[in-house]
Amino acid sequence: MSSTLLCGRFELSLERPLIMGIINVTPDSFSDGALHLDADAAIAHGLRLIDEGADLLDIGAESTRPGAAPVALDDELQRLLPVIEALRDSGVPLSIDTFKPSVMRHVLDAGADMINDIYAFRQPGALDAVAQSRCGLCVMHMQGEPRTMQQAPRYEDVVQEVRGFLLARVGAMREKGIQPERILLDPGFGFGKTPAQNYLLLRQLAQLQFETYPWLVALSRKSMIGHITGRPASERLGGSIAGALAGIARGAKMVRVHDVAATVDAIKVWQTVEHGVSE
């Protein structure tokens, strides 16, 4: 696999698993809605995640939980831009979780380093918005759209369908001249999938992989964890760490998490088991 990910102002080494810390600047995210809606709270949270060991931050201003209501473009930008401005010199890349091409252009102008798009850059104008940038691109699989995606997800072969979808999206991006080193892939846990389908994708993550593209695992606090543990979102740390390590063991190069410090510790121990203690 590629050993680096081009990410705006940064080149990220993929020699060890990277941790993407989550900042939700929203009133209705499934696990921490409204906690960081205020810009100052979001900024403080971002700085705390960096102190805990986050390699990059993922900032979102529109909830993508099942049934989530859309957010107007101006409202999304009003939530995002002050946080980007305050954190862009924090020393880590800033990823922005958005699918709106206009938002992509604005946040890249403001200093963002990555666009994380649940629609895999399928919205009209999305590829054009990012093609000439140096930003990283996180390309996610989703069946349907957030308001309805969990009503009745169906696949003939979820692993091959997710792989085929992402392979096609990579092809479309390459046709636009986008460098492969800018692309990060996400199977989209919880986005139009049943718990059984989510766990099959995680178990067979290695079978999803193709060429040199690195994979992101994003399952922190999600309902797939609650389905197994029976715990609410606020009590899913143990399950989330187990899922992250399962993904890393199957080749994931990045994990997107709410609980950075605990995940850092877990990965350090896992790496030591795998590779030994440095003398």
Question: Is the CB of residue 94 less than 8 Å from the CB of residue 50?
Answer: no
Q: Which two tokens stand for residue 160?
A: 């091959």
Q: Is 222 a catalytic residue?
A: yes
Q: What is the C-alpha to C-alpha distance for residues 63 and 35, in angstroms, rounded to an integer?
A: 13
Calculate the alpha carbon distances from 258 to 45, 48, 74, 215 in Å.
Answer: 11, 12, 26, 18
- At CB < 8 A and 24+ separation, what contacts does 200-206 make? 200/158, 200/159, 201/158, 201/159, 201/162, 202/243, 202/246, 202/247, 202/250, 203/246, 203/250, 204/159, 204/250, 205/247, 205/250, 205/251, 205/252, 206/250, 206/251
Nearest to 6 by CA among 182, 126, 144, 133: 182
Catalytic residue among 193, 222, 236, 253: 222
Catalytic residue among 79, 193, 236, 256: 256
Q: Is 256 a catalytic residue?
A: yes
Question: Is the CB of residue 96 less than 8 Å from the CB of residue 107?
Answer: yes
C-alpha dihedral over 87, 89, 90, 96, to 10 degrees?
Answer: 50
Q: Which two tokens stand for residue 150?
A: 């969990």
Residues assigned a catalytic role: 222, 256
